[in-house]
Amino acid sequence: VTAGKTPAEILEHYADAVGHAPVLPEWATGFWQCKLRYLGQEELLDVAREYRRRELPLSVIVTDFFHWTAMGDYRFDPEEYPDPEAMMRELDELGVKLMVSIWPTISPLSENYDAMAEQGLLVGADQGVEFHQDIHDKKMPRSLPVALYDPTNPRTRRFVWETVKRNYFDLGVRVWWLDACEPELNPGHPRNLSFHAGPGSAVVNIYPRDNARTFWEGNRDAGAPGTVLLCRSAWAGQAKYGAAVWSGDIAPTWESLAQQVRAGLSIGMSGIPWWTTDIGGFPSEESYRELFARWFAYGTFCPLFRLHGHREPRGELGSPMTGGPNEVWSYGERCLGVAREHMELRERLRPYIQEQMAAAAERGTPPMRPLFLEFPDDARAWETDDEFLLGPDLLVAPVTEPGVTSRGVYLPAGADWVEIHSGRTFAGGADYEADAPYEYIPVFRRDGAEIGV
């Protein structure tokens, strides 16, 4: 049980109990480019080069699933990535980190399957065979059963990391996307599972935490500086392993965008300060562009700023698949203008965001926070769930409805607030109708705060 006189104090005590997040690496506060999926080395490099040519900031680019030879091999497919050393050198010259997708699923066709099965490194079963999911992986004529490794076993963690280190880390990869890390089960119930740590019904919820531990400790023991582990799920204490959580594959709807605001606040109050969403969701169409612009504006003020999705034409979900273009220039000149302005705004905000990341590591206070965390004596702050604070001094009011050019905003009592686009000052403790044209969403700086916007 953790307690305190204020919500911020409770969160600080909770971090003391379960573990504090590290300080987010400075490079991670920039823009992350991702799609489902880049088909190979040259396509991925062409995108990174185009960001440089257009003078758009880029910190991280991602190679998503199926870049491997088989699930569980944990290495680049040489047909798609013929010279990963050269790829990593060029990305380094561009100042861009590569994040690779890691799944806990082990194909029976993997070069590591027999060794892992013989050494007892896979999730077991009380009854039946030890296959707990199915997928259409490479070399497969159709969807077939796959196993899961058991990260609650320290020998599994060692085996997986040694493989990942040999095939990715030693090439220069330092950022890890730990996808499907619940783990994703079929059927979706753990009672038949057997882990090193105990029966599935008792211990399955620690799976994402121990999965993150595998990569955090491996990265640390290899002498590398801090990393980011992008996880689809988390458990108490996972923040101390450098875990960021995102909300999974989400619908490209206004309702979904509104849900992301609340989900991000909830995850922060649950002790995970690093949060992001798939900006734009899955998939896209002509009427989607306004939603993309609004989502991109919202994403600018999230702890991690990351574009991802499966765009039209989508194709069949399977190993050869790729979606349509999903770069900031893929949605027309108007959306590109919105994206460029917000990417440049994010760059100006990065020193402030880095300060909030340091505070999160020290005190357990999330950078993205509900109003009541800073204003616990304001009753209205406890009721407001469609706005948020980025740190103590920046209030963000996302637009989550189509066709609007203004929205109601409550500004908490105890401060005056300056709208960053108009420069107008508003007294706290009152409701206002704020301008929200297509080009931006309402954002307010606490009067007197020096943020750079």
- Tallying the residues shown for the chain, one arrives at 453
Backbone angles phi, psi at 113, to 5 degrees: -60, -50
- Whether residue 190 is preceded by a cis peptide bond, meaning omega within 30 degrees of 0, is no
**Given 182, 278, 387, 419, which residue is catalytic?**
182
Active-site residue flag, 114: no
Q: How far apart are CA 357 and CA 12, in angstroms?
A: 14
Catalytic residue among 179, 210, 378, 387: 179
Instruction: Report how far residue 306's alpha carbon sits from residue 31's, in angstroms, rounded to the nearest whole number.
Output: 6
Cis peptide bond prior to 183, omega within 30° of 0:
yes
Write a three-state SS string for the chain: CCCCCCHHHHHHHHHHHHCCCCCCCHHHHCEEECCCCCCCHHHHHHHHHHHHHCCCCCCEEEECCCCECCCCCCCECCCCCCCHHHHHHHHHHHCCEEEEEECCEECCCCCCHHHHHHCCCECEECCCCCCCEEECCCCCCCCEEEEEECCCCHHHHHHHHHHHHHHCHHHCCCEEEECCCCCCCCCCCHHHEEECCEEHHHHHHHHHHHHHHHHHHHHHHCCCCCCCEEECCCCCCHHHHCEEEECCCCCCCHHHHHHHHHHHHHHHHCCCCCEECCECCCCCCHHHHHHHHHHHHHHCCCCCEEECCCECCCCCCCCCCCCECCCCCCCCHHHHHHHHHHHHHHHHHHHHHHHHHHHHHHHCCCCEECHHHHCCCCHHHHHCCCCEEECCCEEECCCCCCCCCEEEEEECCCCEEEECCCCCEEECCEEEEEECCCCCCCEEEECCCCCCC
Is position 182 annotated as part of the catalytic site? yes
User: Which residue among 46, 92, 93, 249 is the active-site one?
Assistant: 249
Catalytic residue list contains 179: yes
CA 245 to chain centre: 5
Instruction: Kindly list the catalytic residues.
Output: 179, 182, 249
